[in-house]
Amino acid sequence: MIRNLLMVIVLVVTAMACNNTQTNTAGNESGENDTLLTPINITVADYIEKPSELAGREVIIKGTVSHTCKHGGKRMFIYGDNPEESVEIKAGENIAAFNAELEGSDVVVTGMFTELVVDEAYLNEWEAEVNLESGEEHQIHDGNHTTENPDSVKMQNLEKINNYRIQIAESGKDHLSFYSIECNSFEVVPAPSDK
């Protein structure tokens, strides 16, 4: 249960991911730059097991859409073999929104694997915005839209901020990393025909 909650939190925070692309300027002659620029095929398991190796890379991933955010359609979540392990996909510049009708469909997504670093500075900025009631930029989206009451949303966000501070302290590091994929393009995989 805690692992599933942590996964949801990870996916939620990645909604606010920054593009931390890493390029290799050395090694042009050896072809290393070409390797970094070529999209790589990954699975949902790769996303879960080795995200730090993928940060800053363009990836291609296939999965089943479990949820699209109803508030603007800027996020969808996909899963692979295990519905308990999901990947957050954010709409990139080329994507207006993800339609709710995608839920249950298999999709192939091409996009940039991004990392959001949540540290004390990030949490302080988010907390200040929440206290000014303008925390939409940092608001975390986990696919659950339980309340629209501004006071309840404020309290939920302050609780989330406090929980992240606890997680940072328990991690022994000075930050948490959350990952997502910023979608450049996607296609729906047709269902196999029954002929």
Domain ranges of the chain: 2-189
| DSSP3 helix / strand / coil % (the chain, rounded to 5) | 35, 30, 35
Q: How far apart are the first and last CA of the chain?
A: 42
Task: Specify the CATH architecture of the domain 2-189.
Answer: Beta Barrel (2.40)
Helices (H), the chain: 2-13, 32-37, 44-49, 51-54, 120-131, 150-171
- With cut-offs at 50, 70 and 90, classify the pLDDT of residue 191: confident
Higher pLDDT, 117 or 140: 117
The tens digit of pLDDT for each residue in 41-65 reads: 999 999 989 888 898 999 999 999 9
Cα 194 to chain centroid distance, Å, stands at: 35
pTM above 0.85, yes or no: no
pLDDT of 31 strictly over 60? no
